[in-house]
A and B are shown apart, each in its own frame.
Chain A
């Protein structure tokens, strides 16, 4: 019999991380049948799977390598993003172990869903074809709809899932519609071919294409929770289980930004005059609405949701900058944001009690004198989110602002720094409660090893990226 040869375009080595992770995710599903109530095996398998994924991502040489008819790419951007994804998924799983036990979430598919979601994220960050981007976004979103509602007995969790699903489906419609229009006007779904096509100045002014771009911005804007497509974020962030909230605000967001960057900064840079203004407005609105909204909040998860909206505004500046400095600053920002966000949410979990209680900011009163180390870690994370040196957030912001200033976006940067000043207010507010108010009620905090480990990873990452960022910057700026 003649051996069946794969067509040249099918490159399984390039696809290795996706394949490995899918296999492990299915393995987790199967193992769940025998594991019973003890989920240790599942957690262990998931973590091994993520580790193998990260390793297998480097299997392809040399990069950049294009496969599947140029719809999938292994390049420097996607490799770095795969590392961010695996780290963030691993941290999310570590956070979930004790949280799930406390909240009585027994579903074994929880871990499988996180892994599948990661598969989607990898596809999203590696795709150079709009169909592939759509597939990636859908895989990510569907997993997240389920994860957000996994606390089935809690009405807020249900609300979160339903809201996220309805609005998400709606946004996906916009995205798809935009892709259709771009396809209709350029004749291809492949980003390289589109990029080639729009070199032609006459193609750039095609109203159908412009319309498509606007719809794409709406679709992506929803996925990264930027204003005015952010309405879902506070409710979903509050209602979803805390580890899922942390996961959502890092991994899927980073993946959506990767696709955002590929589509806008790398495919349509020539057309930037037509989308730069629109994205700048969205960025500015995100910063203002995020920061001013966060000031009003009394619930820490809602506050962090608004803060994450404002961060989406800062990160959009990297897309608008669209240079190589833009892409590397995007990478650095997402990595530092991952460490900080998981750290913050780990502390939210430590302070929280069964049934998602004790999440008001005033519950943090006097924490610094009862649990100084926890309070200090929290302060470090908050100051890093606010962008103060010597923490990761400062270097990340410096990086993004640099990219924007290099492109001459001075006004945008000035608005962004003023927003950083506004954001200081609500980050400091938490510190005020922790350090400057008297204790109100007895702390019953759950100092469980896995969660503390995540805090430790967060602190080390935050300080290390803040004081010795050189190695990561070198990696990011290849």
Chain B
């Protein structure tokens, strides 16, 4: 019940805001903040009560919803969802503080923000496919409104593109969900859309599971976004208001990676294994392409947006390493990207508020007049590159470790992404912060004010905390990751090798001794040659 309350608290808050008079803007903002803060603190209570020794779902609630179809209101939380859930409430709170100066329709803005929060929280705790889909689609609407109403000049185009891209992917997922529902009904006789039940009992042929995998993949890959489904992201990021970008990068993209961990891997372990090379190469293309495109951007926000494509490629690569290091790295990198990129968007928003432009060429020499800003930017930029001691390093290192075990070449390509990241971030930093203060419009820029510090400071604390002592974060998902890996471990699906050995063995039995002797002789030949050399 507690989890339900936390999840729906923001929506209740949004409904309350609807009844407040429009003119009383301060009261509206304060109420929204109070709700978001309460929600965050309550979600921290979840964390303290969380038992990290088990992969089982916690804080669960399972009550009938649509009995006629066997669909339940089933929620729960495990290590994979806990941190994402807490990060969602946390970033919602940060976003509300960051949106304090929104001029237009503040009440509607806060309502959309809070409703969005409930939608996102619901996605992370839904344990029924039907319910998951409801939340998955539900959160689209407030995000669409936020981008479309409070966004930049091309906001309508960007918001519709965002909506349509996501909807096309998720509608095919809906078909897969219905198919699974009937399949489960046929094979086990139970009409249910329960995720845990399906994970246990789904038994489909490899061909069918590949199709289903593709349907889920499309929905999540668009959300992540993976190359080549990423084209909506730069548009949405550039046009969205600052807080919209923060939520988009911080939480919405994570819904995609979460989907892979919750559905693709556990439902179709073998299909996932078969698709590893495809995902890996797409991720690598994403990493390098994102980084290269980020390098040539003239708009700060677009640069950060493309860097997201690159970073999310890392996360995907970690997930599809299908080993503990990779998945742990992906999970922690989920959080890291949420923190670092959100902070970058907030920082870009700060100069945008002052100058109403985000073109890199408009700036230069800001370090002289905005020292506090420059320091914050420096820390965040370095964390985004993955400097040791900061959060990005932990995640990227684990991911590279994981992927290296699978394929050295992939790891090599991925590592080049880290180098490219250093290039585009530092080059951008140099052009914005250093050089001479040429542009006269920049001379009177004010440094960060207290409110802005409040939004950035907690993120910077987290950057160092995760970078220096990630254990409290890492241990929350240890059990869940181990359980997941035991399910998707590639060794489960290497029948070819075993079969090969077996057939070899059988063969050997059938061979006559002379043949065996000659074979042995042949096999030993090269060895001798080698030794001689």
Taking a contact as CB atoms under 8 Å apart, the answer to whether A473 and B69 are in contact is yes
Q: Which residue of A lies closest to B68 (CB)?
A: A473
Contact A398 B65 (CB under 8 A): no
* Chain A hits for B67, CB < 8 A: 470, 474
Interface check A225, CB cutoff 8 A:
no
Q: Would you call B68 and A474 a contact (CB within 8 A)? A: yes
Interfacial chain A residues near B168, Cβ < 8 Å: 418, 421
> B160–A470 contact, CB under 8 A?
no
Question: Once the chains bind, are B171 and A405 in contact (CB under 8 Å)?
Answer: no
Residues on A with beta carbons closer than 8 Å to the beta carbon of B175: 401, 405, 410, 413-414, 417
Smallest CB-CB separation from B174: which chain A residue?
A417
* CA distance in complex: A402, B108 (Å): 36
Q: Is B155 an interface residue (CB 8 A)?
A: yes
Residues of B within 8 A of A389 (CB): 133-134, 137-138
- In the complex, chain B residues whose CB is within 8 Å of the CB of A350: none
Say yes or no: A435 contacts B164, CB within 8 Å.
no
CB atoms of A424 and B167 under 8 A apart: yes
* CB proximity of A383 to chain B, nearest CB, Å: 7
Query: B145 — nearest CB in chain A belongs to which residue?
Result: A435
Interface residues of A in 389-427 (CB under 8 A from B): 389-390, 394, 398, 401-402, 405-406, 410, 413-414, 417-418, 420-421, 424-425
Contact with A along B402-442 (1 / 0, CB 8 A): 00000000000000000000000000000000000000000
Q: Chain A interface mostly helix, strand, loop or mixed? A: helix
Report whether A421 and B167 are in contact in the complex, using a CB–CB cutoff of 8 Å: yes
The verdict on B105 contacting chain A, using a C-beta distance below 8 Å, is yes
Instruction: Establish whether residues A398 and B160, one from each chain, have CB atoms under 8 Å apart when the complex forms.
Output: no
CA–CA, A372 and B155, complex, Å: 21
Cβ-defined contact, A425 with B137, below 8 A:
no
Q: Which one of B178-186, B326-334, B474-482 contacts A? A: B178-186
Q: Of residues 411 to 448 in A, which have CB atoms within 8 Å of B's CB atoms?
A: 413-414, 417-418, 420-421, 424-425, 428, 432, 435-436
Query: Is B141 an interface residue when CB atoms closer than 8 A count as contact?
Result: yes
Cβ A390 vs Cβ B138 within 8 A: yes
Please determine whether A432 and B156 come into contact, CB atoms closer than 8 angstroms: yes
Say if the beta carbon of B359 comes within 8 Å of chain A. no
Establish whether residues A405 and B155, one from each chain, have CB atoms under 8 Å apart when the complex forms.
no
Cβ of B149 within 8 Å of any chain A Cβ, yes or no, is yes
Question: Any chain A CB within 8 A of the CB of B163?
Answer: yes
How many angstroms from the CA of A405 to the CA of B186 in the assembled complex?
A: 13
Do A432 and B178 touch (CB < 8 A)? no
In the complex, residue of chain B having the shortest beta-carbon distance to the beta carbon of A470: B66
- Is B286 part of the binding interface, using a Cβ–Cβ cutoff of 8 Å? no
CB of A281, distance to nearest CB on chain B (Å): 20
Q: Which of B68, B148, B164 contacts A436 (CB 8 A)?
A: B148
Contact flag A428-B160 (CB < 8 Å), given A388-B141, A410-B175, A414-B172: yes
Instruction: Please encode chain B, from 339 to 360, with 1 for each CB lying within 8 Å of some chain A CB and 0 for all others.
Output: 0000000000000000000000
> Do A420 and B145 have beta carbons less than 8 Å apart?
no
* Cα–Cα, bound, A421→B182 (Å): 23
B interface footprint on A18-30 (CB within 8 Å = 1, 0 otherwise): 0000000000000
Quick one: which of A369, A421, A424, A469 has the most chain B CB within 10 A?
Answer: A421
Residue of A389, A424, A425, A469 with most chain B CB atoms under a 10 A cut-off: A389
B155 to A, closest residue via Cβ = A436
In the complex the two chains form, what is the Cα distance from A470 to B138 in whole Å? 20
- Name the prevailing secondary structure of the B interface residues: helix
Query: Nearest chain B CB to A173's CB is how many angstroms away?
Result: 40
User: From B165, which residue of chain A is reached at the shortest CB distance?
Assistant: A421
CA distance A432 to B151 in the complex (A): 13
* Best-surrounded residue of B68, B164, B168 (most CB of chain A within 10 A): B68
B163 shortest CB reach to chain A, Å: 6
In the complex, the answer to whether A405 meets B65 with C-beta atoms within 8 Å is: no
Are B65 and A470 touching (Cβ within 8 A)? yes
Closest chain-B Cβ to A472's Cβ sits at a distance in Å of: 9
Do A421 and B164 have beta carbons less than 8 Å apart? yes
Do B148 and A401 touch across chains, with their CB atoms under 8 A apart?
no
- CA A436 to CA B145, docked complex, whole Å: 8
Q: A297 an interface residue at 8 Å Cβ cutoff?
A: no
A372 cross-chain contacts in B, Cβ below 8 A: 108
User: Would you give the 0/1 interface string for B140-173, flagging 1 where the beta carbon is closer than 8 Å to chain A?
Assistant: 1100110011000001100110011001100110
CB atoms of A470 and B68 under 8 A apart: yes
Residues of A near B149 (CB, < 8 A) are: 435-436
Alpha-carbon distance A109/B375, docked complex (angstroms):
79
Chain B residue at smallest Cβ distance from A372: B108
CA distance A410 to B172 in the complex (A): 11
Q: Is the CB of A388 within 8 A of B178?
A: no
- Write out the residue numbers on chain A whose beta carbons fall within 8 Å of the beta carbon of B65: 470
Residues of B within 8 A of A474 (CB): 67-68
Closest residue of chain B to A401 (Cβ to Cβ) is B178
- Cα A389 to Cα B123 in complex, Å, equals 13
| A417 → B minimal CB distance (Å) | 4
**A324 CB within 8 Å of chain B:** no
Q: Is the CB of B66 within 8 A of A473?
A: yes
Are B134 and A390 interface neighbours, CB within 8 A? yes
Tell whether, in the assembled complex, residue A401 and residue B174 are in contact, meaning their CB atoms are under 8 Å apart: yes
Shortest A452–chain B CB gap in Å is 18
When distances are taken between beta carbons in the complex, the residues of chain A under 8 Å from B141 are 383, 388
Q: Cα distance A425–B159 when bound, in Å?
A: 11
- Contact status A421-B174, CB under 8 Å: no
Report whether A417 and B172 are in contact in the complex, using a CB–CB cutoff of 8 Å.
yes
Contact yes or no, A418 B160, CB < 8 A: no
Give every chain B residue within 8 A of A405 (Cβ-Cβ): 175, 178-179, 182
CB of A56 closer than 8 Å to a CB of B: no
Chain B's nearest CB lies how many Å from the CB of A369? Answer: 6
Query: Within 8 Å CB of B144, what residues of A?
Result: 428
CB of A388, distance to nearest CB on chain B (Å): 5
- B174 to A398, Cβ gap below 8 A? yes
Name which of A401, A417, A469 has the most chain B CB atoms within 10 A of its CB: A417
Q: Is A477 an interface residue (CB 8 A)?
A: yes
Q: Which chain B residues border A406 with CB–CB below 8 Å?
A: 182
| Neighbouring A residues of B163 by C-beta, 8 Å | 424, 428
A418 to B159, CA, bound (A): 19
**Cα of A424 to Cα of B170 in the assembled complex, Å:** 13
Contact indicator B171/A477 (Cβ below 8 Å): no
- Which residue in chain B gives the minimum CB-CB distance to A472? B68
Q: How far is the CA of A372 from the CA of B127 in the complex (A)?
A: 34
* B30–chain A nearest beta-carbon distance, Å: 21
**What residues on B are CB-neighbors of A369 within 8 Å?**
105, 108
Chain B minimum-CB-distance residue to A404 = B178
Tell me which residues across on chain B come within 8 A of A432, comparing CB atoms: 148, 156, 159-160
Most A Cβ at <10 Å: residue of B171, B175, B181: B171
Q: Smallest CB–CB gap between A361 and chain B, Å?
A: 14
Contacts of A425 in B (CB 8 A): 160, 164
Interface string of B491-516 (1 = CB under 8 A from A): 00000000000000000000000000
List the interface of chain A (C-beta within 8 A of B): 368-369, 372, 383, 388-390, 394, 398, 401-402, 405-406, 410, 413-414, 417-418, 420-421, 424-425, 428, 432, 435-436, 469-470, 473-474, 477
Other 12 A-B pairs with CB < 8 A, given A401-B174, A470-B67: A388-B138, A388-B141, A389-B134, A398-B174, A414-B172, A420-B171, A428-B160, A436-B159, A470-B66, A470-B68, A473-B66, A473-B69
CB-defined A-B contacts under 8 Å, sample of 26: A369-B105, A369-B108, A388-B140, A389-B138, A390-B134, A394-B134, A402-B181, A402-B182, A405-B182, A410-B175, A413-B178, A414-B172, A414-B175, A420-B171, A421-B167, A421-B168, A425-B164, A432-B159, A432-B160, A435-B148, A436-B155, A469-B66, A470-B64, A470-B67, A473-B66, A477-B68
A-B pairs, top 3 by smallest CB distance, nearest first, are A417-B171, A389-B134, A473-B68
